[in-house]
Structure 1
Amino acid sequence: MKKLFPWLGLGLLLATTAQATDPITIVAAENFYGDVAQQIAGPEVTVSSILSNPDQDPHEFEASPSVARGLSAASLVVYNGADYDPWMSDLIGALPRPERKTIVVADLIGKKTGDNPHIWYDPQTMPAFAKALAEQLSALDPAHAADYQQRLATFEKSLEPIHAKIASLKTRLAGVPVTATEPVFGYTLEALGTEVRNQAFQLAVMNGTEPSASDVAAFQDDLKNHKVKVLIYNSQASDPLADRMLSLAKEAQVPVVGATETEPPGTKFQDWVMGELDAIGKAVKE
């Protein structure tokens, strides 16, 4: 671990000087968890997010000394898990603080290494995370437990339009063939009941391996012969083969919808997801 994080001495020093009576601070690995955390925690709690740059490929992230400083003093740490952000568990292990609490979101919904890690697009994920967060905050700060529970109820209600939108789209999109360069939006596509094609290609791109020639040929055939109604493209992570499929889709006039792995700046989680759903609905014609 020292070889991976040679600057950890500073973080360890900060960790030993942090006091349990400090104000509550939350550090989230990804900004969509940070956004939801702020909605539940309210203005009195400081929330920061590590991955928040929409131009950065999350798969290429490397932790820095500033990340260690934030983690060393955090009351509560939130990260995705399912091997999406393994650097986070490494840092937590290297910066021990007995009183610090941790929420691994994948554990809340039973996802593990080998599963599609893009779980924030699963409709069940954020309700589970918000509930777990409210419980942790209530334990850390019992005097304001009622406030956390009230904000949780408000957040849960704010998700109702998203669930209604998914249900509405499913009546039209169930069984409709779609494809993607990566399984970023996979859980939502499942919730919509679509037939997701070229999954072996998607997994290869996500894992940084070379898709087989037959997988590439099948993907190209789907696009050229309009066997799919839309292409979902990971607009945040570049890959030569994925870019080739994007170009081919445009040439064949197959609708393309971009999906990101980081919440766009200046938006809320609810608006971000609703925007993606609206884009899918508009792309797939009646």
Structure 2
Amino acid sequence: MLAGAALLTTAACGSGSAGTTTASGTKPKVVAAFYPLQWLTEQVGGSDVQVTVLTAPGVEPHDLELGIQQVTDIQNAALTVYIKGVQPAVDDAVAQDTSFDAVTAVTTLPAGEHAEEGEEAHTVSYDPHIWLDPARLATVATKLGERLGAADPAHAQAYKDRAAKTAGALGTLDQELAAGLSTCKTKTLVTAHEAFGYLSDRYKLKQVGITLDPEQEPSPARLSEVAKLSKAEGVTTIFTESLVSPKVAEVLANEVGAKTAVLDPLESKPSGDYLSAMRDNLKTLQTALGCTA
């Protein structure tokens, strides 16, 4: 009902909310759907925008249900930054003329292909986890700078400059990941759910997800399949994540004779920020995959 109300109200408001916000002399209100987009919006928007995030720290983004205040925030925003396919409630609430679907800025990868009965991991045909490839996120930063400049022309150059700076920082991170993962003994990445397709594609790793959906338990057949593959390819670590129960990964690790480690998909705010969390992921991967310095 809330999503339906959001659609009706945003259709009535159109782009008028954005115009009123920027014309009044106050900072444009920008809504980010979840953490990586919040971080990116804060970097590009800087002090010229007010950023609100829909998904609280520690909350699994895929499970988000919008409250009345969040729907109101979307309606009143100059721009809502989201990724279609991650949060259906947000997909339903945004208005086309005051939203930026970050996935439209990059080339996508297809969604995983081993979905089991009952799994509903994504509502789109592509993998939406684009933020785990810094190179793609740099492209999104550039486009976001353009969209913010269109919503707030008085600060267009500032947005463009900050977007370029952010893209540069992401480019540096990309180079570090490429160098750090180029000499790994093992290239197979066994993860609790298939969130790391873009990272694997970018750095020539092979992702094997136990499930497509972090909320679904895999079938015995799927566990057996992944265990057999893990043994054959010498996998020593099964990756889990902080917002998902490690139970299934631990069962698989015991079967394979491996250990578990946390690999952060950055769907929620980490202890540091996006850049430091990705560098922590790099260290975790280097240890688990036997990468030489």
Structure 1 distance, partners of 2:221, 2:4, is 44
Look up the match of 1:262.
267
Q: Does 2:30 correspond to 1:31?
A: no
Look up the match of 1:182.
193
* Counterpart residue type for residue 88 of structure 1: V
- Answer with 158-167 or 259-268: which moved more: 259-268
Q: Does 2:76 correspond to 1:68?
A: no
Instruction: Give the drift of 1:223.
Output: 5.3
TM-score computed with the length of structure 2 as normaliser: 0.79
Q: Does 2:227 correspond to 1:216?
A: no
Q: 1:84 aligns with which of 58, 68, 86?
A: 86
Q: Secondary structure, in 3 states, of the residue corresponding to 2:285?
A: helix
Q: 1:27/1:174 Cα in 2 relative to 1: closer, same or farther (>3 Å)?
A: farther
Instruction: Give the drift of 1:45.
Output: 0.8
Q: Secondary structure, in 3 states, of the residue corresponding to 1:21?
A: helix
1:129-144, aligned counterparts within 5 Å?
A: 129-144=140-155
Q: 2:163 aligns with which of 117, 140, 152?
A: 152
Q: 2:137 aligns with which of 80, 104, 126?
A: 126
Look up the match of 2:118.
none
**Where does the alignment leave 5 or more consecutive residues of structure 1 unmatched?**
none
Q: Check whether the contact 1:77–1:103 (CA below 8 A) recurs between aligned residues.
A: yes
Look up the match of 2:236.
229
Instruction: Give the drift of 1:247.
Output: 4.2
Instruction: Give the drift of 1:181.
Output: 1.5
Q: 1:225/1:256 Cα in 2 relative to 1: closer, same or farther (>3 Å)?
A: farther
Q: 1:260/1:110 Cα in 2 relative to 1: closer, same or farther (>3 Å)?
A: closer
Look up the match of 2:206.
195
Q: 1:91/1:19 Cα in 2 relative to 1: closer, same or farther (>3 Å)?
A: closer
Structure 2 distance, partners of 1:195, 1:24, is 42
Instruction: Give the drift of 1:219.
Output: 2.3
**Count of aligned positions:** 270
Structure 2 distance, partners of 1:32, 1:49, is 10
Look up the match of 1:276.
281
Instruction: Give the drift of 1:214.
Output: 2.8
1:239-250, aligned counterparts within 5 Å?
A: 243-249=247-253
Structure 1 distance, partners of 2:195, 2:18, is 39
Structure 2 distance, partners of 1:211, 1:265, is 27
Q: 1:106/1:278 Cα in 2 relative to 1: closer, same or farther (>3 Å)?
A: same
Q: Secondary structure, in 3 states, of the residue corresponding to 2:48?
A: coil
Q: Once the two structures are superposed, what CA deviation does each residue of 1:89-148 show, in whole Å capped at 9, x if it has no partner?
A: 21125xxxx8x5211011222437122222211233311211111111222222222211
Q: Once the two structures are superposed, what CA deviation does each residue of 1:201-223 show, in whole Å capped at 9, x if it has no partner?
A: 432x44x5564433211223455
**Where does the alignment leave 5 or more consecutive residues of structure 2 unmatched?**
22-26, 111-123
Q: Once the two structures are superposed, what CA deviation does each residue of 1:144-171 show, in whole Å capped at 9, x if it has no partner?
A: 2221121112112212331112221232
Q: Once the two structures are superposed, what CA deviation does each residue of 1:33-70 show, in whole Å capped at 9, x if it has no partner?
A: 1111111111121011111322x222222111111121
* Counterpart residue type for residue 80 of structure 1: I
Q: 1:248/1:175 Cα in 2 relative to 1: closer, same or farther (>3 Å)?
A: closer
Q: 1:5/1:116 Cα in 2 relative to 1: closer, same or farther (>3 Å)?
A: closer
Q: Check whether the contact 1:176–1:229 (CA below 8 A) recurs between aligned residues.
A: no
Structure 1 distance, partners of 2:270, 2:170, is 20
* Counterpart residue type for residue 202 of structure 1: T
Structure 1 distance, partners of 2:206, 2:236, is 10
RMSD: 3.1
Q: 1:211/1:20 Cα in 2 relative to 1: closer, same or farther (>3 Å)?
A: same
Structure 1 distance, partners of 2:2, 2:155, is 39
Structure 1 distance, partners of 2:30, 2:125, is 27
Q: 1:281/1:88 Cα in 2 relative to 1: closer, same or farther (>3 Å)?
A: same
